[in-house]
Amino acid sequence: MSKFSRRNFLSSTAATIPLGLGVSSIPHQLSAAYVTGQADILVTGKILTMDSYLPVVQAMAIKDDRILAIGDLEEVLPFAGASTERIDARGHVVTPGFIDAHSHPLFAEEAIGVNVNLPTIDEVKKALAWKASQTPPGHWVRGVMYDDTKFSDERPLNLNDIDQVVKDHPVYVAHRGGHTGVVNSKALEIASITMETPDPIGGKFYRENGEFTGKVAEHAVDVFFKVGTWPIMDRSVRQEAARISSQNMAAAGLTSTTDASGNRNDLLAYQDARRNDELYFRVAFMPSGGSQVYRGLKEAGIGSGYGDDMIRIGAVKFSADGSASERTMSMSTSYQGKPDDFGILTMTQDEIYSAVDDAVAHDFRVGIHANGDVAINMVLNAYEKVLKDYKGINPRHRIEHCSLVNEELLGRIKAAGVIPTPFYTYAYYHGNKWVDYGYEKMQSMFAHRSFLDAGIPVAPASDFTPGPFEPMMAIQSMVTRKDVRGRVWGPDQRISVSEAMRICTMHGAYASFEENSKGSLVAGKLADFVILEKDPHEVNPDEIIDINILRTVLGGRTTFEA
């Protein structure tokens, strides 16, 4: 605790809130407008503010959507009155709401499919049978969020499993990674796929002992979407998808996210949900570089930063190489045991130059997907070029994922003020995939330690749906670097619990230029906070993931309560 007055009251002007990352808050002036005002909510308990001036306090008063006062109990108590709602979090811990700087909330498609991210195949069968009972005969039944490697059965879902429970509907169970699925016999039948059907170029119908397993991959998926009757994804269904996704994220303690590649329909979905009071997170919307909405925004003269506290236009999104988890990212050294495999580039250097030049000319920040060191180098070339003659404050261009780095790249990222968004749950969740990179490379991947040591404000990023978004899993993953089976991937990149929590809060706010309004609990900032059952600093690091979220509050409004 500071020996100065341990209180912190709402400032009358935002200008007194210090700019920049890592700058501690200064004590704010008492606002005349609020001196006589009564708090709507009084929160008491151990409050971790993420503000270095007052890191731990006892009470917080909230008025409308903002923090009115925060400090010791006796200092904040006078702001409470008869009508003030009391939230007693004693015995638990209060933190700023968590922020995810890169996800795809609408990829989950839970508004049209049933979530089969379940621990056993039996439970998946039950879920699919239920969905079929709700679906007109003959129409497609869709399972979503499937993960083949996570069942306690220790085998993937197959065609026979689905046939046992759904015979009259075609079924497509979509993998959360987005590149494969599992179908039933009815699906093969209506798509006219028989054992005589060859695999399409760039795709595969998996077969074993003269029979289909049900697994289909890449271009073999396409044929199913051209036959039968699929659920209609209209505007109201998309709005429902935004509601479900934001509600799920709120339940995990998230108050802000970033849609890291959106189109016009996605932007409409968020706005529709918000209009209906059903948007449970703040969203930075990154239009996809090839999208109609990006062209439209440029034409309208709307660039990054436009919007308000709930929905704001973020950086434009491009993609320069393959994927980390699917082992196609573009690297200067080959994959383990595959001397000729260096991954895939999806943009040329010239394409990157012109995309960046055009975006900056239209007042857009840029976020380019670049996993491997080769792709990261190319993206940095373009950022360095465009920043050379740039006037004004650093636009904080981003490198999405920025998975594999080295000392040279770290120095250039720091010098250019670029924000990397490495996967924060991958060490824990995707362990099986890291074998293909090997021990040495994993010491330089998802390099949270290296970024922090270089003074780079590394952002929190799930890449949901491929990656889980749960902040408690993220903190454990960054702290332990252990996967589900206890194997450690890249021990040099381990960081402390405090550092991980700071990434998931303040660094998330910084990544969207919103560090003055959120990311820490300071008077005047948005009242976005979470009540955790336990303090992550005080549990076994391997059990952080088990900490329950008791309540999530977004701008003074409870969006989740256990």
Q: Which is nearer to Zn ion, 429 or 529 (CB)?
A: 429
Size of the site for Zn ion (CB under 5 A): 2
Tell me the window of 56-64, 141-149, 260-268, 489-497 that interacts with Zn ion (CB under 5 A): 260-268
Q: Which is nearer to Zn ion, 7 or 176 (CB)?
A: 176
Q: Which is nearer to Zn ion, 463 or 515 (CB)?
A: 463
Q: Which is nearer to Zn ion, 156 or 343 (CB)?
A: 343
What's CA 66's distance to the chain center, in Å? 24
Give dist(CA 258, CA 462) in Å, integer: 10
Site membership for Zn ion, residue 463 (CB under 5 A): yes
Q: Which is nearer to Zn ion, 63 or 317 (CB)?
A: 317
Smallest gap from Cβ 407 to Zn ion, in A, equals 26
Q: Which CA distances in Å does 543 have to 37, 361, 474?
A: 42, 48, 12
Give dist(CA 145, CA 483) in Å, integer: 20
Question: For the chain, how big is the Rg over CA atoms in Å?
Answer: 24
Smallest gap from Cβ 493 to Zn ion, in A, equals 20
Smallest gap from Cβ 82 to Zn ion, in A, equals 48
Site membership for Zn ion, residue 279 (CB under 5 A): no
Q: Please state the φ and ψ torsions of residue 370, each to the nearest 5 degrees.
A: -150, 110
Smallest gap from Cβ 10 to Zn ion, in A, equals 37
Smallest gap from Cβ 21 to Zn ion, in A, equals 23
Look at residues 163, 178, 176, 175 and name the one whose alpha carbon lies nearest to residue 215: 175
Tell me the window of 155-163, 208-216, 288-296, 457-465 that interacts with Zn ion (CB under 5 A): 457-465
What's CA 272's distance to the chain center, in Å? 21
What's CA 311's distance to the chain center, in Å? 16
Pairing relationship of beta strands 141-146 and 98-99 according to DSSP bridges: unpaired
**Residue 216 corresponds to which tokens in the numbers above?**
């289909």
| Contact set for Zn ion, span 437-456 (CB under 5 A) | none
Binding string to Zn ion for residues 206 to 245, with x set by CB under 5 A, is what?
A: ----------------------------------------
Smallest gap from Cβ 317 to Zn ion, in A, equals 8
For 71-104, b where at least 16 C-beta lie within 10 A, e where not — what string?
beeebbbebbeeebeebebeebbbbbbbbbbbbb
| Contact set for Zn ion, span 481-520 (CB under 5 A) | none
Give dist(CA 459, CA 34) in Å, integer: 34
Q: Which is nearer to Zn ion, 17 or 474 (CB)?
A: 474
Smallest gap from Cβ 126 to Zn ion, in A, equals 31
How many CB atoms neighbour CB 255 within 10 A?
29
| Contact set for Zn ion, span 41-100 (CB under 5 A) | none
Tell me the window of 61-69, 143-151, 259-267, 437-445 that interacts with Zn ion (CB under 5 A): 259-267
Please enumerate in sequence order all residues whose Cβ is within 8 A of that of 476, keeping only pairs 6 or more positions apart, or say none.
Answer: 428, 482, 541, 542, 543, 544, 545
Smallest gap from Cβ 204 to Zn ion, in A, equals 24
Which position among 106, 221, 260, 511 is part of the footprint of Zn ion (CB under 5 A)?
A: 260
Smallest gap from Cβ 425 to Zn ion, in A, equals 13
Q: Please state the φ and ψ torsions of residue 442, each to the nearest 5 degrees.
A: -65, -20
Q: Which is nearer to Zn ion, 260 or 409 (CB)?
A: 260
Bridge partner list, 44:
59, 88
Tell me the window of 185-193, 347-355, 461-469, 535-543 that interacts with Zn ion (CB under 5 A): 461-469
Is there a contact between 276 and 286 (Cβ–Cβ < 8 Å)? no
| Contact set for Zn ion, span 147-206 (CB under 5 A) | none
Smallest gap from Cβ 466 to Zn ion, in A, equals 7
Look at residues 491, 480, 525 and name the one whose alpha carbon lies nearest to residue 506: 525
Coil, helix or strand for 16? helix
Tell me the window of 128-136, 166-174, 255-263, 451-459 that interacts with Zn ion (CB under 5 A): 255-263
Q: Which is nearer to Zn ion, 31 or 477 (CB)?
A: 477
Site membership for Zn ion, residue 259 (CB under 5 A): no
Smallest gap from Cβ 467 to Zn ion, in A, equals 9
Q: Which is nearer to Zn ion, 63 or 398 (CB)?
A: 398
Task: Identify how many contiguous H helices and E strands the chain contains and give both numbers.
Answer: 17, 22
Q: Which is nearer to Zn ion, 463 or 483 (CB)?
A: 463
Smallest gap from Cβ 464 to Zn ion, in A, equals 8
**Residue 224 corresponds to which tokens in the numbers above?**
């199913």
- What's the helix, strand, coil split of the chain in %, to 5? 35, 25, 45
Q: Which is nearer to Zn ion, 369 or 518 (CB)?
A: 369
Residues that bind Zn ion (CB under 5 A): 260, 463
